[in-house]
Amino acid sequence: MEPEKNSLSEEIQITTPTSPENKLPDSKLKAKLKLSIWEIVKFVILTLVIVVPIRTFIAQPFIVHGGSMENTFFENEYLIVDELSYFLRLPVRGEVIIFRYPKNPSIFFIKRIVGLPGETLAIKNNRILIKQADDIWQALNEPYAKGKTFSDISDITLKDQEYFVVGDNRELSYDSRAWGPVKLDLIRGRAWLRLLPFARINYLPGASENN
């Protein structure tokens, strides 16, 4: 006697078994989702903790606009501004700084420091002169300067925390010769690194020994 064959429904149950062991339980799925969200939150927090202080107190990007600093800096060059150094020391002569324009602090300028607080300076025959302690005038050595200044300027004595700044391209620069000195609290930092263009990458671009 032949054994009775399984019905179609029984064959289906046999040939297509369910496999609940391969299905992720809801509790584990929720735990995995929570872990992923927490990882994202930690990444965002870490980014804020690291990037925000750096951007606020240490370094800022700056793009050069205009030709007032040629041939030291050209249009659209990308710089990193060192904002930390001037918390530790005062700016010195010859440094290229980024600062807020005194007449409109929402605008940033890039110029070079030529006069320091307490100094008396003048511009004669296209030379910047600094008055020494013995009342002798000494001309600055400015190998970076391009072009002539606007006109002679009589003696200017800088007050405490005031800096006289000019562009290297004297004929195209709108600077302290036109609107006066810059206060220390308007200075954001010094040109620390030139990143673009790649062919001109360098550290402390425009650095001068004239200080």
Known catalytic residues?
68, 111
CB burial string 162-186: b at 16+ within 10 A, e below: bbbbbbbbbeebebbbeeebbbeeb
Residue 103, SS3? coil
Tokens 């008055």, residue located: 131
SS3 19: coil
Structure tokens at 84: 């930390």
Two tokens, residue 205: 């671009």
Concatenating the DSSP letter of every residue in 25-91 gives PHHHHHHHHHHHHHHHHHHHHHHHHHHHHIIIIIEEEEE--SSTTTTTS-TT-EEEEE-SHHHHS--
